[in-house]
A and B are shown apart, each in its own frame.
Chain A
Amino acid sequence: MAKDKSQADDYLAPLKRLLVGLLVLCLIGLFLLWRIDSPRVERFRAAVVDRVVPSFDWAMAPVTATVNLVRDFQSYQRIVQQNQDLRNELQKMKAWKEAALQLEQENARLLDLNKVRLDPRLTFVTGVVLADSGSPFRQSVLLNVGARDGIVDGWATMDGIGLVGRISGVGRDTSRVILLTDPASRIPATIQPSGQTAIVQGDNTAAPPISFLEDPDLVRPGDRVVSSGDGGVFPAGLLIGQVAADPGGRLRVILAADYERLEFLRVLRNPGTEVIRDPGALVAPQDQRLAPSPLPEDGAILSETEGSNG
């Protein structure tokens, strides 16, 4: 018996080792392929996520709902306190609402005076959050809208108020949003009212720091940070958050979007900004530049008719 087993081991052990070696080589090969040709493997990843995560959805939705229910139940314990707080807030809100209404009317009048046409092409698709990144090192969420709904890589994603992130990875039915807090996220931004441009750079903390700021003295905590639209990354003017200084004196953005509860996200359809490629049209008046051009066209037509006649 013992002899049989050792013989079987003699046959099997090298074979097993070979197969394990082969497996490790395949995995490392996949990793190297990812490093060399990232988009192709990322498409494969999107396809896998597209297949796997929606099949979890039937279980994920009730579990999420239950946990949220328990959390809400815990908040019943301090319901009196909460009620008081809410009443105070409501009082403040009423004052703000009044101010907002007046401002809205004023704004409408001013826009009318200036004959401003806001970009009407900025529409959005709303998706439900299916899953988060599952890793403490990356910050992303999966949405239940994908290529089927016309989602394209690079589009901006917002909750009701502020910018949340950017689409990166689109499957047929799902797409991944890299949040502004992810270490890979870089968003060009403008700081109002000073008009300074900067980059909001995610670093896996709740408030991403502002970098590449030209003159930090012009920026104060409390200033609004909006997307600048530089590089055609995002449409300009989407609210990102407010400037705050951390204890080390570094400027950070307190995000306007409610990251505690991301449930529904809007993906902004961005047809892209028009790019001016031809400098001549700007330098010279248009009719002068176009004047010689009809001649060769006429010539071409003439020669063509001649050819057909002959």
Chain B
Amino acid sequence: MAEGSTTRVWGMRLMYLALALVLIFAQLIPLDFRPQAWAGPDLLVAFTFAWALRRPEFVPALSIGLVVLLADLLFLRPPGLWAALMVLGTQALRNRARNLRDQPFVMEWLAVAGVFLAISVANRLVLAILMVPQAPLGLTIIHVLMTLICYPVVVMLSQWVFGVRKAAPGDLDRLGQRI
């Protein structure tokens, strides 16, 4: 029993890495080179948060850090900053995961919105302080809003397609003990 759940945990960790690579890949496909007036949702962030709230053991901090760092490097963002903020953000959500488990979904949504807003503002502040050129503010706001709007869809997808559910009472953790 314990061994089976360990393989599942490692399988899902690999699944997270594969999913992240697919999302990065999908964004890199060269289809349209005109600048767009609106920014699409950041699905990588939404999936990472949804998984970190449901099954923190599937998304260890190291894999989040590496995946977002890779995205930073490929998407021409300042390398490391957004990755560090994402690790901190998921860590904050992870600490609240136990309390949020019994709450309705709206509370979880609000928590995610709070964390995402906080790290986006922190990102802009750090870039402003270090005088790094930034994207227009309007575009960032649209980006944050779109990501938050898409969050419920991402949650449904991860529950139904990937089977990432909240731990129910009576579920066993990696060591075969009650969570």
Contacts and interface: CB of A to CB of B under 8 A. Distances in A.
B148 interface: no
Given A53-B28, A141-B30, A259-B33, A133 B75 contact: yes
A201 to B, nearest CB: 12
A251 interface: no
B132 A35 contact: yes
Nearest to B176: A1
B177 interface: yes
Given A20-B91, A27-B83, A204 B74 contact: no
Interface in A135-158: 135-141
Interface in A193-216: 203-206
Contacts of B75: 133-135, 138
Interface in A11-30: 19-20, 23-24, 27-30
Contact of B30 (A52, A130, A176, A183): A130
A53 B74 contact: yes
A73 interface: no
A176 B13 CA distance: 32
Contacts of B61: 19-20, 23
Contact of A45 (B28, B79, B91): B79
A53 B71 CA distance: 12
Interface in B123-174: 130, 132-133, 135-136, 139-140, 143
B81 A31 contact: yes
Interface string A235-267: 000000000000000000000000111100000
Instruction: Give the size range of A's interface with the partner.
Output: 35 or more
A137 B132 CA distance: 13
A49 B136 CA distance: 25
A48 B73 contact: yes
B28 A24 contact: no
A282 B27 CA distance: 55
Contacts of B30: 60, 64, 129-132, 141, 262
A76 interface: no
A56 B25 CA distance: 7
B39 A136 contact: yes
B87 A24 contact: yes
Contacts of B33: 132, 139, 141, 179, 259-262
Nearest to A60: B29
Contact of A206 (B29, B34, B62): B34
Given A67-B29, A133-B75, 14 more contacts: A2-B178, A24-B87, A30-B69, A52-B74, A64-B31, A130-B30, A132-B29, A132-B32, A135-B77, A136-B35, A138-B77, A181-B34, A260-B34, A262-B30
Which 7 pairs, one residue from A and one from B, show the smallest C-beta to C-beta distance? A137-B135, A31-B80, A30-B80, A136-B39, A27-B84, A134-B27, A131-B28
26 contacts: A2-B177, A4-B177, A24-B65, A24-B84, A24-B87, A27-B65, A27-B69, A28-B81, A30-B69, A30-B79, A35-B132, A60-B25, A60-B30, A67-B31, A131-B28, A132-B29, A132-B33, A134-B27, A136-B39, A137-B77, A140-B76, A141-B30, A181-B34, A183-B133, A204-B136, A260-B32
Interface of A: 1-2, 4-5, 8, 19-20, 23-24, 27-31, 34-35, 41, 44-45, 48-49, 52-53, 56, 59-60, 63-64, 67-68, 129-141, 176, 179, 181, 183-184, 203-206, 259-262
